[in-house]
């Protein structure tokens, strides 16, 4: 019987149709309305002049591992046509398509020529194109004839940007800034058309000055990148079928230089080997609000077709919790809408410098009709308001007044209550972790200023004053596990893994019988015998074509240990779109990252067309955890159908700087929002028993240029409060089945080799019970990349040290990894106890996965996505 699950018919499936409808239904919740003079929604369908680099070449999502191979991508042009609009600028769109194609062709040829000149193959060149994505800049001029022939008073301009792993963006025209041609075209169109609607088909922040300064632009919408049906969701937006209710997940600066990391980020200072996090905890709005820098658009900002009132009904304490009851009313008369209530807290800062305010809770209403209202309940755990004190290695709630602010963006709030804590409370004691950063790292210091303004003093005088009882807090102290004793073999009888899954044998007895070599094989992925670059990057699995990797198959014949399939994300499941199942039971991948497939091979053709869901940044713009969980559920259902055990998602790194090439894969600049979104995504996927997520990239992974060899110099407080806090929330609320470490170093130690983060923080402090894996090729010899100009000041991660750190699985797993683990065992770098401990983590996950589904290994996690809305 064939083990391949994909359909053998090329016809579109009901699953594809159903899942695309699910994505389309959430479009409005994810789109952010930045400006509208009444032009939107359009009153009727009809003629429309369509321009912009994203009109026909609409970006569904970024490049690299975040890509998804789909049956079709519906462009904005195609989406408008399907929904009954008459697009009247076909000649301009044809010119633009030709210009873009010529630019792409020239780029690809230049990469191939460079590879050949360096003695590399054309396939190597194709891989380099994936690892170093092109930034398209071609743009056709718009003429008076184009306008005259469009025969309409309404123009839509789709401004697109694309990025991907392996390369950071630039603060240059055509990328972060609008190009001269884009500005010129927009000025021209704004003067020619009665209505000019600008749609931002982007996955990151851009400079919006021209969009705010050019007179005549009627509306600006961050449509984001909604997946393979982005064009249909845009059509829904224009007609009013989709009502925008999204909010920004980042601060959009007036100038790029306003970001505190702008001068040193990635290539900006000419040094891609060392990254100094001088801003400390002052990331995003924490910096802008504390240092008094005015943004173009504030964190949490987003307009609506209607208006809302937001009133605080009550604030009370329950033990060490604070409950806010907020009444939201649609005060408009024509349109329905949804609003997001956001709670920020200003904490005392006498001993520990703090941001002026921090997001501590949020909730989104249901769709409210004009005149309709809803009461939201937001619960804050007071212990979560604590700050980390590096000197005392503890989380501390300082004595004083905690000012609660409620609003719909970080710059539009009112004081709702003041909670007083009479005495300082230590909520949690920890070990000091992470090697001290480079002594030259000097973090910025916030100005000493009053926590309130004179205008706010009147608000404070009128709001409820509550007092927290310091004695109600329970101190949390952690124990840090030591290495277990080496297991003793109890029997000479071979124990198959099915006996463990069936409850007939203990897991430790199964592990005890394994040789050192067998344990080492378990630590590495199934590419251990493969040869060549293409066999290990992007599509390294043998049993599920297009999967990024899999666990070892070396122990299947002897012990019956099956393989887990690991598939890329996070904008959907990424598999080879088509493959041929050959008579000998093997498969030949066609398309995607399966290079060199024999299209003429004999056998059964299978089809794996998946659903591209919105990118993480676009999903997070909904501020709707149940919506995000529903997209996780969608992916989980496709994992079940195709047999993918682990989804290498969600990506959840902090948007430290808008130029990070993978920000589209991540949620936000704020760790609370990012952590809650990733937890919701995980709960949605893991609603399907035996299938799980792999939250990534742990830790402080915020740069793509030289991503495998860059060293993040960062303080322990910044790690704990910003760059690890989002992961902590996800682990504690959703217990993901696995986690992926990042390429970079943290204070001189590779993330994959760091015991402080992978063992002490993740497992001992947070209680993570899943498996940890490396990112792809982090332990590999990549000296060939020197020819491409990649700096390698710090060298690669060490496979034996991965095992020591409790980074359980090395992917995709090469022969040198296996050999290095055994060498480390001989040299005393690691012991058999390390191997057995990591094997236990891997095999425990195997027992949870769909291949075995051993019920006693299903860790208890919340049964549904946490919601803030009172029922």
Alpha-carbon dihedral 236, 239, 245, 246, rounded to 10 degrees: 50
For residue 195, CA distances in Å to 85, 132, 199, 519 come to 16, 38, 13, 66
Residue 295: closest CA among 280, 283, 303, 285? 285
Cβ atoms within 10 A of the Cβ of 462, count?
8
Using omega within 30 degrees of 0 as the cis cutoff, is the peptide bond preceding 570 cis?
Answer: yes
Radius of gyration in angstroms for the set of CA atoms belonging to the chain, rounded to a whole number: 27
Structure tokens at 338: 């949804």
d(CA 432, CA 465): 36
Active site (annotated) includes residue 775: yes
Cβ atoms within 10 A of the Cβ of 379, count?
15
The count of C-alpha atoms lying within 13 angstroms of the C-alpha of 163, restricted to the half-sphere facing its C-beta, is 30
Strand partners, 638: none
The three state secondary structure string of 644-680 is CCEEECCECCCCCCCCCCCHHHCCCCCHHHHHHHHHH
Cβ atoms within 10 A of the Cβ of 445, count?
9
For residue 188, CA distances in Å to 144, 146, 862, 867 come to 9, 11, 54, 47
Options 775, 798, 808, 817, the catalytic residue:
775
Contact indicator for 40, 33 with CB cutoff of 8 Å? yes
d(CA 530, CA 532): 7
767 — alpha (psi -120 to 50), left (phi > 0) or beta? left
Q: 660 φ, ψ to 5°?
A: -60, 130
DSSP 421-433: ESS-EEEEE----
Q: Which residues contact 227 (CB under 8 A, 6 or more apart)?
A: 23, 60, 61, 68, 70, 571, 572, 611, 612, 613, 614, 615
d(CA 665, CA 651): 6
DSSP 576-624: -SEEEE-TTS-EEEEBTTBTT--TT--SEEEE-----PPPHHHHHTT--
The three state secondary structure string of 534-559 is HHCCCCCCCCCCCCCEECCCCCHHHH
Catalytic residue ranges? 775
């Amino acid at each position: 019987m064939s083990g391949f699950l994909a359909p053998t018919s090329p016809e579109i499936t009901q699953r594809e149709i159903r899942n695309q409808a699910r994505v389309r239904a959430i479009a409005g919740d994810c789109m952010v309305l930045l400006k509208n003079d009444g032009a939107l929604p359009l009153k009727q369908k009809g003629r429309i002049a369509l321009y912009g680099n994203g009109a026909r070449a609409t970006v569904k999502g970024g490049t690299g591992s975040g890509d998804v191979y789909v049956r079709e991508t519906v462009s904005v042009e195609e989406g408008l046509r399907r929904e009954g609009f008459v697009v009247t600028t076909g000649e301009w769109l044809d010119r633009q398509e030709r210009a873009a194609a010529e630019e792409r062709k020239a780029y690809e040829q230049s990469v191939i020529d460079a590879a050949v000149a360096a003695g590399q193959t054309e396939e190597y060149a194709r891989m380099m194109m994936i690892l170093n994505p092109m930034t398209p800049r071609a743009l056709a001029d718009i003429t008076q004839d184009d306008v005259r022939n469009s025969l309409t008073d309404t123009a839509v301009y789709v401004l697109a940007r694309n990025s991907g792993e392996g390369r950071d963006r630039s603060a240059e025209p055509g990328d972060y800034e609008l190009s001269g041609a884009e500005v010129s075209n927009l000025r021209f169109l704004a003067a020619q058309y009665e209505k000019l609607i600008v749609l931002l088909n982007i996955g990151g922040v851009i400079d919006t000055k021209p969009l705010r300064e050019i007179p005549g632009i009627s509306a600006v919408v961050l449509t984001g990148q909604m997946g393979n049906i982005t064009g249909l969701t845009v059509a829904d937006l224009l007609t009013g079928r989709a009502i925008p209710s999204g909010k920004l997940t980042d601060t959009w600066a007036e100038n790029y230089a306003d970001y505190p990391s702008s001068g040193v980020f990635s290539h900006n200072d000419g040094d891609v080997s060392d990254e100094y996090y001088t801003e400390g905890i002052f990331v995003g709005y924490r910096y802008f609000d504390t240092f008094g820098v005015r943004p173009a658009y504030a964190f949490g900002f987003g307009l609506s077709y209607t208006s809302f009132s937001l009133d605080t009904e009550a604030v009370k304490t329950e033990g060490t919790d604070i409950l806010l009851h907020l009444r939201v009313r649609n005060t408009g008369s024509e349109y329905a809408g949804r609003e997001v209530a956001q709670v920020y807290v200003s904490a005392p800062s006498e001993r520990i410098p703090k941001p002026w305010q921090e997001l501590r809770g949020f909730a989104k209403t249901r769709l409210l009709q004009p005149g309709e209202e809803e009461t939201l309940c937001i619960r804050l755990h007071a212990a979560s308001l604590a700050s980390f004190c590096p000197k005392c290695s503890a989380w501390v709630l300082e004595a004083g007044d905690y000012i609660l602010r409620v609003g719909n963006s970080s710059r539009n709030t009112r004081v709702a209550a003041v909670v007083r804590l009479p005495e300082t409370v230590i909520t949690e004691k920890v070990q000091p972790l992470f090697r001290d950063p480079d002594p030259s790292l000097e973090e910025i210091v916030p100005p000493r200023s009053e926590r309130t303004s004179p205008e706010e003093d009147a608000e404070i005088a009128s709001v409820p004053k509550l007092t927290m009882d310091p004695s109600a807090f329970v101190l949390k102290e952690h124990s840090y596990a030591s290495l277990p004793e080496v297991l003793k073999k109890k029997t000479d009888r071979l124990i198959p893994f099915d006996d463990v899954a069936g409850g007939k044998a203990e897991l430790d007895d199964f592990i005890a019988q394994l040789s050192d070599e067998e344990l080492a094989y378990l630590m590495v992925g199934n590419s251990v015998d493969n040869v060549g670059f293409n066999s290990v990057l992007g599509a390294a699995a043998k049993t599920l074509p297009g999967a990024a990797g899999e666990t070892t198959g070396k122990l299947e014949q002897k012990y019956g240990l099956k393989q887990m399939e690991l598939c890329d994300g996070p904008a959907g499941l990424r598999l080879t779109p088509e493959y041929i199942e050959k008579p000998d039971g093997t498969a030949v991948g066609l398309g995607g990252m399966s290079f060199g497939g024999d299209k003429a091979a004999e056998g059964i053709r299978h089809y794996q067309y998946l659903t591209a869901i919105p990118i993480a940044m676009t999903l997070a713009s909904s501020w709707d955890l149940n919506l995000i969980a529903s997209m996780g559920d969608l992916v989980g259902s496709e994992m079940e159908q195709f047999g993918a055990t682990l989804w290498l998602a969600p990506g959840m790194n902090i948007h430290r700087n808008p130029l990070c090439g993978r920000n589209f894969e991540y949620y936000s600049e704020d760790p609370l929002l990012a952590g809650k979104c990733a937890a919701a995504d995980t709960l949605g996927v893991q609603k399907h028993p035996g299938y799980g997520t792999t939250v990534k990239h742990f830790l402080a992974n915020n740069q793509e240029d030289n991503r495998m060899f860059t060293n993040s110099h960062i303080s322990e407080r910044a790690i704990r409060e910003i760059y690890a806090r989002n992961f902590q929330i996800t682990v504690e609320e959703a217990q993901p089945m696995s986690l992926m470490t990042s390429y970079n170093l943290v204070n001189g130690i590779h993330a994959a080799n760091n015991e402080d983060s992978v063992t002490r923080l993740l497992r001992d402090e947070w209680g993570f019970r899943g498996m940890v894996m490396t990112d792809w090729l982090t332990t590999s010899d990549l000296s060939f990349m020197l020819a491409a100009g990649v700096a390698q000041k710090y060298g690669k991660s060490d496979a034996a040290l991965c095992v020591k750190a409790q980074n359980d699985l090395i992917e995709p797993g090469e022969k040198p990894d296996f050999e290095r683990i055994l060498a480390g065992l001989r040299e005393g770098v690691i012991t058999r106890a390390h191997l057995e401990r990591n094997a236990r983590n891997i095999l425990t996950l195997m027992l949870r996965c769909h291949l075995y589904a051993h019920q006693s290994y299903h860790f208890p996690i919340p049964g549904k996505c946490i919601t803030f809305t009172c029922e």
